[in-house]
A and B are shown apart, each in its own frame.
Chain A
Amino acid sequence: MSETVNLIVNGQDKAVSCSANTTLSQLLREHLMLTGTHVGCDTSQCGACTVHVDGKAVKSCTILAVQVDGSEITTIEGIANQGEQHAMQAAFKECHGLQCGFCTPGMIMASIDLVQSGMDLTEPEIREGLEGNICRCTGYHNIVSAVASAGQKMREA
Chain B
Amino acid sequence: MNKIVEARFLAPDIKLFRIEAPKIAEKRKPGQFVVVRVEELGERIPLTIADSNLEEGTVTIIVQGVGKTTKHLNLLEAGDFIHDIVGPLGKPSEIENYGVAVSIGGGVGTAIAYPTAKALKEAGNYVIGIIGGRSKEFVILEDEMRRICDELYPTTDDGSYGFHGFVTHKLQKLLDEGRKIDFVLAIGPIPMMKAVADVTRPYGIKTVVSLNPIMVDATGMCGGCRVTVDNKIYFACVDGPEFDAHKVDFDNLMKRNRMYLEHEKKSLEEFICRIDLMAKKLEKQNA
Q: Do A and B come from one complex?
A: no
Binding site for B on A (CB under 8 A): none
